[in-house]
Amino acid sequence: MSVEITAGPPDVDDAADPEVAETVAAAEAVLTGRFGAKVRLADPEDLGGAGKSVVVRVRVAATPFSMPRTLVVKRYPPAAVDRDPFAHEAVSHQLLTALPAEERLTPELVAHDSRRRLVVLEDLGKAPRLADKLLGNDARAAERGLLAWAHSLGRLHATTAGRDADFDALMRRQGGQCCRDPLAEDLTAALAGLPELSDAALGVPISAAAVAFAQKAGRQFSTSRRRAFSPSTACPDNNLVTSKGVRFLDFEGGCVRDIVFDAACLRVPFPTCWCAFGLPAGMSEAMVAAWRAEVGSVWPDLDDDAVLMPRLLEAQLLWVWLSTWRGLPRLAAAADPAHRPLQSPPRSASLTARWARLRIDAALLGADEIVEHAEAMVAALTRRYGPAALELPLYPAFR
C-alpha cells in the first residue's frame, strides 16, 4: 500500500545556494520520472562535495509512494574527456545495489540520470565518519573504527569477487571506458617518471634493481586475478562508522582492481590523502589481519604468508611511488606548509613516514634492494626538510 508523505510544503526555492536549488529540482524531476508520479523534496542540507560536485541531503516532502523520509542527492558538472567521476559513481552504485541487502556495505541507489549527471541515494544518516573517530579523543573508538573499516573492505572484496564483466558492461552502457582504473594512468606515469624526478628533486638515483622490482609490481597490478570492486579512495572522510559496521561512500573512482593493492592501504594508511597522521605500533598489522579474515573464504591462498606478504610489499611500493610522484613536485616548489589542511601534518612528514614504513616491511622480507632504496629516500627527505620530516604525529585519538 502506498503512503503519502506530506510533512510540510516544499521549500526548495528557499535554498540559499542556486546550485543546491538546481540540484534539488533536478532530483525531483528524476524521481518523478522514475516513479511516475510527482515527488517533492524540501529542506536541502548542503553536505559539500569533492571538486565541483554538489551533495545535498533532502527531506521527502510529498510522494504517493512509500519512500525513505530523507535522501542524498549528488550532481556532477560536465566531465573532462579522459575521466568521468559521474560514470564511476553511477556504475559503482548500480553494481553494489544489485547485491543482497544483507551484503551491501554502501548506500542503495534509488535513481540516477545520465543526462542530468545525478544520483539519488539512500541516506545512511548522521553516523560519524572514520575521520571523526581518528580526530577525536577516544583511542578505543578510533581503534574499533579502523578495524571495522578493514573488515568492511575485506567483505566488500569478498562479495564482489569476479564481477569484472558486470562492471565493464555497466560502464559501457554508461558510455564510459570499460576496464579503466582511474589510478592506472597515474601509476604508469609514476613508474616511468619517478627515477628521473627522484634524481632531479632529491639527488637520489634509483638503482636498477629497485626499478626492476617496481616494474614487476606494476605488472602484478595489471595482471592479478584476485580482483574485486574497489572504492578507489581510502580517505577516512569517505567511510561512515555505523552500528552495523563501516559503510563506504563516494565512488568517483570506483572500479574493479587487484584486491592486494587495496589491502596495502592498511600499511600506507589513506595514501590518497595528504592529511593523514600516523597510527600506533601494531595497528596496521591488526588491520591487515582483519581484512585477511574476510577474504580468506574466496582467496584461501592469501592465508599463506609466503603468498600474501611479497605481494603486499609490491603493492605497498606502488602506493609509495605513486604518492611520491604526486607529492614531491609540490614539496620541491616549497609549497609544503601553505597547501595542507589546517592542523594536518606537513606533507614532508607524511611522505617520509611512508618510505620509513616501506623500509621496515622490506627488511622483514629480505628485499634488500627496496631497503636500500627506502633508506636513501628517507635520508634525502630528512636532509631537505630537516628532522621534522621524521616526526609524523599520531592521529589525535591515539595521543
Cα-based distances in Å from 368 to 4, 96, 187, 195, 352: 68, 41, 23, 18, 19
Q: Where are the chain's structural domains?
A: 5-122, 130-398
pLDDT tens string for the chain (399 positions)?
Answer: 333 333 333 344 445 688 899 999 999 999 999 888 899 999 999 987 666 789 999 999 988 878 889 999 999 988 765 678 899 999 999 999 999 999 999 999 999 999 999 999 999 988 999 999 999 999 999 999 999 999 999 999 999 998 999 999 998 888 765 556 888 889 999 999 999 999 999 999 999 999 999 999 999 999 999 999 999 877 899 999 998 899 999 998 999 999 999 999 999 989 988 888 999 999 999 999 999 999 999 999 999 999 999 999 999 999 999 999 999 998 866 544 444 455 788 889 999 999 999 999 999 999 999 999 999 999 999 999 988 888 899 999 999
Q: In the CATH scheme, what architecture does the domain 130-398 have?
A: Alpha-Beta Complex (3.90)
- CATH code for the domain defined by 5-122: 3.30.200.20
Model pTM above 0.85: yes
